[in-house]
Amino acid sequence: MTRRFALIIDPVPASEERADYSDTFTEVDAAAPALSVGELSTQRGDGVFESIGVIDAHPQELVPHLHRLAHSAQLCDLPVPNVEQWRQAVRVAAAQCPPGESVIKLILSRGVEHGPTPTAWVTAAPASDFSWVRTEGIRVVTLDRGYDLGAAERAPWLLLGAKTLSYAVNMAALREAARRGADDAVFVSSDGFVLEAPTASLILRFGDRFVTPAPNGGILHGTTQLSVYDHLASRGFTTEYAQVPASDLTEADAAWLVSSVRLAAPITAIDGHAVATDRAFTDALNAYLLSPRD
């Protein structure tokens, strides 16, 4: 698809149930001017978002993404999203996506300064081609995130578990990783535990046991990680959430960064230490992630 477009959503309160919300969506070309200069999402990054992988016009893991959007909104004291309205907006956008991989983003902003309502929209665009990283893998470096594991609970105003629009820090971490000769980063807490990547979750393999950092230390609970865990459990593997000391990273038999659009990217090196990869296993994981998932 070369066409990029957005549906501007006229937000209906969650309490106002309707069967059909299609008259609340206005389609615009992605290049068309659509936002006010007073928009708080652009002025302060004050809002939340989701990125959904779309395969052959099917939005993957739609319900978990909608739940996480609502959870992020709650953490940010934004009005409760009308989940059914968002679901219909994604369905309308996805139906226009061509065969192959696309990405739909959901954006809920605090709105225009002094304005009465939040601003909401979804965008649809072709996904980048990640076939190379899914097979050849990525080198990562660990980067100190500067917070200890207790920070999320001690200081909820840091919004550590919310998917906010303020991704400048995450993008800076990716640039730092590139400066250090790597493709991606893994954040580590100031007290030495593994967290997540700037735009992905980390899954480690130790024998037949799979471990991911527990999502209570101020990291996002990844929809892809959850889906991969269901899949691994159905194949008889043990899946665990744990506090993972950074020193365990190089002990792993294999490791992946997983996320909604790139899917499973095998890690080939951590801070310059080679990590083993299992091509057939990763291919099977990505075949699963590319299959229709609800």
Where does this chain bind ligand PLP (CB under 6 A)? 51, 196, 198-201, 220, 222-225, 258-260
Give the integer Cα–Cα distance in Å for 136 and 265. 8
**Regarding beta strands 209-213 and 201-206, do their DSSP bridges make them parallel or antiparallel, or are they unpaired?**
antiparallel
Instruction: State the minimum distance, in angstroms, from the CB of residue 194 to ligand PLP.
Output: 12
**Element housing 151 (H / E):** helix 151-154
Q: Which is nearer to ligand PLP, 93 or 103 (CB)?
A: 103
The two beta strands, 238-242 and 209-213, are parallel
Of 32 and 287, which CB lies nearer to ligand PLP in the complex structure? 287
Q: Which is nearer to ligand PLP, 112 or 140 (CB)?
A: 140
* Min separation Cβ 281 and ligand PLP, Å: 19
3-state secondary structure 208-237: CEEEEECCCCCCCCCHHHHHHHHHHHHCCC
Q: How far are the Cα atoms of 56, 196, 242, 279, 284 from residue 269, in angstroms, in the given order? A: 32, 16, 22, 15, 21
225 vs 282 by CB, closer to ligand PLP = 225
> How many angstroms separate the CA atoms of 218 and 138, rounded?
24
Measured from the CB atom, the residue of 62 and 252 that comes closer to ligand PLP is 62
* Shortest Å, Cβ 196 to ligand PLP: 4
> Closest distance between ligand PLP and the C-beta of residue 71, in Å?
12
CB of 93 to ligand PLP, least distance (A): 17
